[in-house]
């Protein structure tokens, strides 16, 4: 990469802004490429039909999930 001799701070900031835009464009294109198209979406609606989830069940689940983490 070539370095210009004496660039002004405004030129440098403009270049950084351009690079940020390029990175955002790249991120969006990658997300669009790897986003599911909807063909293999599994609907979970009704999966817990007839199941009674209590507050104790939720607390036990939270404890098991976050037991080893220190927040």
Query: Each residue of 20-51: pLDDT tens digit?
Result: 999 999 999 988 888 767 677 777 778 878 88
More confident: 1 or 36 = 36
**Mean pLDDT across 7-27:** 93
How far is Cα 1 from Cα 10, in angstroms, rounded to an integer? 20
How far is Cα 36 from Cα 42, in angstroms, rounded to an integer? 11
What is the token pair recorded at 71? 């927040």
pTM for the whole structure: 0.42
What is the token pair recorded at 63? 């404890």
């Amino acid at each position: 990469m070539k370095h210009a001799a004496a660039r002004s701070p405004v030129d440098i900031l403009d270049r950084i802004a351009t690079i940020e835009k390029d990175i955002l464009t790249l991120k969006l294109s990658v997300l669009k490429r790897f986003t599911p198209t909807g063909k293999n979406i599994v609907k979970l609606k009704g999966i817990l039909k007839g199941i009674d989830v209590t507050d104790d069940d939720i607390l036990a689940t939270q404890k098991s999930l976050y037991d080893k983490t220190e927040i």
